[in-house]
Amino acid sequence: MSAEIVEEKVAAPVVAKPKSNKKLMIIGAAAAVLLVGGGGGAAVFLSSGSKAHAEGASKKDAANLPPGAHGESGEREGNFVEVPTMVVNLRSPDGAMRFLKLHFMLVPGPNSDAERLKEKLPLILDAYQPFLRELRPEDLAGSAAVFRVKEEMMVRANDVAGAGSVSDILIEDLVQQ
C-alpha cells in the first residue's frame, strides 16, 4: 500500500489594505481649488472684459463725433450719459413674442450737460417707452432703420429735456429677437 500524503491548501483570506484617505483628500482639495480659482478667474475676466469693451467703444464713438457735437467744453471724454439697457416687446401682426434690446448713450447738446441729462433721464426713458413698444419688426429692417430710430429718440429726448439738450444718440446694441 502506498501512503499518500494529502496536503491541504487553505486559502488565506485576502485582507485589503486600507487605502490612504490622505491621497483622496489631496485630490479632492486640488479639484476644489481648481474649480473655485477657475470660476473666480472667469468671473473677473468676463466682468473686466465687458467694462473694457464698453470703455473702448465709448472712446471710439467719441472719436467719431463731428466737431461741436461734444458740447461747449470741447472735451469729449466723460461727456456722455450712459442709459441702462432697455428691453421692450414689439408689436407683431401675428401675435408672436418679439423683443427689442437697446443699449445707447446720450450726447449732451449745446444747451445742456451730462448732469442735467442724468436728472431728466427718467422722463426721457418714459417718453421712449410708448415709441419703442409701437415699433414692428419690419420697422427695424434695413440699413436706414437705425437712423430713423435714432432720429425719433432724439426728437423725444429734446421734447422732454428742452430744445438742444441732446445732440446725438450713440447706439451700442440694437438686438431684435
What is each CA distance from 36 to 31, 32, 42, 43, in whole angstroms? 9, 6, 10, 11
Q: What is the dotted CATH code of the domain comprising 68-176? A: 3.30.479
Per-residue confidence (pLDDT) for residue 34, from 0 to 100: 64
Could you read off the pLDDT of 4-35 as tens digits, one per residue?
Answer: 665 555 555 555 555 567 777 777 777 666 66
pTM for this entry: 0.54
Per-residue confidence (pLDDT) for residue 14, from 0 to 100: 57
Cell digits for 167? 445732440
Report the sign of the C-alpha dihedral through residues 136, 140, 144, 149, in that order. Answer: positive
User: Pick from 65, 83, 41: which is nearest to 173 by CA?
Assistant: 83
* Residue with grid cell 444747451, as numbered in its chain: 111
The structural domains of the chain, with segments of one domain joined by +, span: 20-64, 68-176
Q: Which residues of the chain have pLDDT under 70?
A: 1-20, 31-78
The total number of residues shown for the chain amounts to: 177
